[in-house]
Amino acid sequence: MDLVTPGFGLVFWTIITFLFLLFILRKFAWKPILGAVSDREASIKDALASAEEAKKEMASLQADNQKLLQEARAERESMLKEAREMKAKMIGDAKGEAKAEAEKMIIQAQAAIDAERKSAIADLKGQVAALSVEIAEKVVKSELSDKKKQLGLVDEMLGQATLN
């Protein structure tokens, strides 16, 4: 017998054995193998769907995080702006109060100066009046001692006086 060219009997029994093996595999192993492949395929599809869903959820969470971050930044900017405005208002109010207080002090100082000036002027007028009366008294005494001088003084004063 030649091993390279098989005989009819060998081919016949090989085909019969192959068909028997195919029948047994189909009867007992084919359905479980196809079921396992089908289950594996379904498992892979579910895993891909879960991965896609997780990816979408991650994108949604990222968008939410971005939105929250933007809102936080906007709120921070708003708070900083409000703080700056409050600071400016407080400084402005303090400046206004200081200016009003300074103006009040200046007015009080001017009033005190005016009062002192008026008092000094009144005192000075009193001294000038007293001095004038004293000088006039001495002049009048010296002028009225001579009759000729008295008449000349009266004429001079009448000449200076104007009638309204």
Distances (CA, A) of 40 to 12, 26, 34, 51: 38, 20, 10, 16
Lowest mean pLDDT among 73-82, 99-108, 130-139: 130-139
Q: Is the CB of residue 163 less than 8 Å from the CB of residue 156?
A: no
pLDDT in tens, 19-75: 999 899 888 888 888 888 999 999 999 999 999 999 999 999 999 999 999 999 999
Element (H, E) at 110: helix 31-144
- pTM beyond 0.85: the answer is no
Higher-confidence residue of 114 and 157: namely 114
Give pLDDT, residue 153: 72
